[in-house]
Structure 1
Amino acid sequence: MRRTLGCVRLVYNKALHVRTQAWYEKQERVGYAQTSSMLTDWKKQEELDFLNEVSSVPLQQGLRHLQTAFTNFFAGRTKYPNFKKKHQGGSAEFTKSAFKFKDKQIYLAKCTEPLPIRWSRQIPEGCEPSTVTVRLHPSGRWHISIRFDDPTIKPLPVTDKAIGIDLGISSLVITSDGGASHLRDK
């Protein structure tokens, strides 16, 4: 698993370097599609052939996270993306195509043994995992986060109405349509 985290970090940092260099040298933006094709080329290089030993899904997800970081940067929501450091731990995200879920066991792609999981809560009936994120904290502790899709939850109906909510001092809640808090003082 540490090898996977290292490979994700390497791919993220190489892509960040390429994107930064392209901007400073040619004022050219490099997107996810270009970095994804670069990943294919990197995996063919002899000095980077170890990238083939880990699942390609977390590597691609790392590139998607970098794309999101740049999208947020260009929208003014955050600072320029930083390079990932080894001592910060790291994470790897596996989508549905890169793991198998059977009998409350999770088998990641290119791993022979299931993940040793101590479940913190019950899995609701009928729910299937869609994403598994494995994180190594700087303290050395491992954490697994699993996103489940629940088919019983229906989407809310689409509406063109909107309302603002203000938390007040004299009334707990005031809504933009003039309604006051529906909570009664005792």
Structure 2
Amino acid sequence: MNLFCNFKYELIADDTRRSALSRFAGCRRAVFNKALELQNDRKAKSEKPISYLEMAHLLMEWKQTEEMAFLKEAPSQALQQTLMDLDRAIKDTFRKKGDPAKKRWPRFKAKDIGDGFRLPQVKPQDIDEPNGRVKLPKLGWLRYRRSRPLAFKCGDGTLIPGKVKQIHITKDCGKWFVTFATEFEIPDPVMKEKDVGIDVGIVHAVTLSNGKTCDLDVKTIKKIEGEIAYLKRRLSLNQSSRKKLAAKGLAEEFDKRKPSRTRRRLKELIQKKYKRIRSI
């Protein structure tokens, strides 16, 4: 049987490489927003959306302009995948009512929210798994924290290597991560006496068929949620106070695209709190 698994590791990069990754993510965001702006204009005029192939030709034209020449810094595959994502998102909005895959019209992407990019074509020689290295376009070799082998572990403890189909580079709370989308060919599992069933419930987070239960640290989660609520109130007050000061001419106009140092710090703290809940 074929099985798909994602293996996520933290990248070890210096400030120069981290800046380059941020620029790549920024180029991806700029392409998505510019293409979405064109699609929004056509939607307002009741015209048919632009296809992916047409947008890909426009991308080549954008790179030749002085205004968007910075797109040449990013890998072409990552920018093309962005246009594919937008094309797929728009098609999902036209699905029939009641279809679970139906989605709302895509919205513009904001900075520091979902930053990253995807590389669909991966060569086996670009992954040095024993030494924990991956080769990225226009960056070269980057090390990652090899916390576990890039292989599927069977019930008897044997490791089965797989084939990496895609590489995802993402940013979370100031740290960069690499995710390997891997396909495995494993033998069909055989039921054994030691196998157990897992049920995810409400009273207990996990209940096993042998009677054992596993519970989350709900007390700590509720405590963190209270801290998040407090930080969000401060974030809201930061915006309202900035607007009042701007009305009196004591501060610049509030612009969420250019947040202040205090606002950036509050958003970083909120992201770290959410990450801690996810880790729990």
Return the TM-score normalized by structure 2: 0.50
- Counterpart residue type for residue 132 of structure 1: I
Please name the residue that 1:133 is paired with: 168
SS at match of 1:70: helix
Question: 1:95 deviation in Å?
Answer: 1.5
Q: Over residues 36-80 of structure 1, what are the superposed CA-to-partner deviations in whole Å (9 max), with x where a residue is unaligned?
A: 111011011122111111110110111111111112111151111
Distance 2:76 2:33 in 1: 16
Q: What is the aligned counterpart of 2:136 among 86, 108, 124?
A: 108
Please name the residue that 1:83 is paired with: 108
Please name the residue that 1:119 is paired with: 146
SS at match of 1:122: coil
8 Å contact from structure 2 (residues 122, 164) kept in 1: no
Q: What is the aligned counterpart of 2:90 among 61, 66, 70?
A: 70
Question: 1:121 deviation in Å?
Answer: 2.7
| Aligned-CA RMSD value | 2.3
Identity of aligned residues (%): 25
After TM superposition, the runs of 4+ consecutive aligned structure 1 residues lying more than 6 A away are none
Please name the residue that 2:32 is paired with: 12
Gaps of 5+ in 2: 1-20, 152-159, 189-208, 210-280
SS at match of 1:136: strand
Please name the residue that 2:246 is paired with: none
SS at match of 1:28: coil
Gaps of 5+ in 1: 156-182
8 Å contact from structure 1 (residues 3, 54) kept in 2: yes
Please name the residue that 1:145 is paired with: 179
8 Å contact from structure 1 (residues 89, 140) kept in 2: no
Distance 2:41 2:123 in 1: 32
Q: Over residues 57-109 of structure 1, what are the superposed CA-to-partner deviations in whole Å (9 max), with x where a residue is unaligned?
A: 11011111111111211115111101000031412001125892234421111
Q: Please say which of residues 97-106 and 141-150 is displaced more in the overlay.
A: 97-106
SS at match of 2:68: helix
Question: 1:26 deviation in Å?
Answer: 5.0
- Counterpart residue type for residue 121 of structure 2: K
Please name the residue that 2:72 is paired with: 52
1:93 is aligned to 2:118: yes
8 Å contact from structure 1 (residues 57, 98) kept in 2: no
User: How many residue pairs align between the two structures?
Assistant: 153
Return the TM-score normalized by structure 1: 0.73
Question: 1:113 deviation in Å?
Answer: 3.4
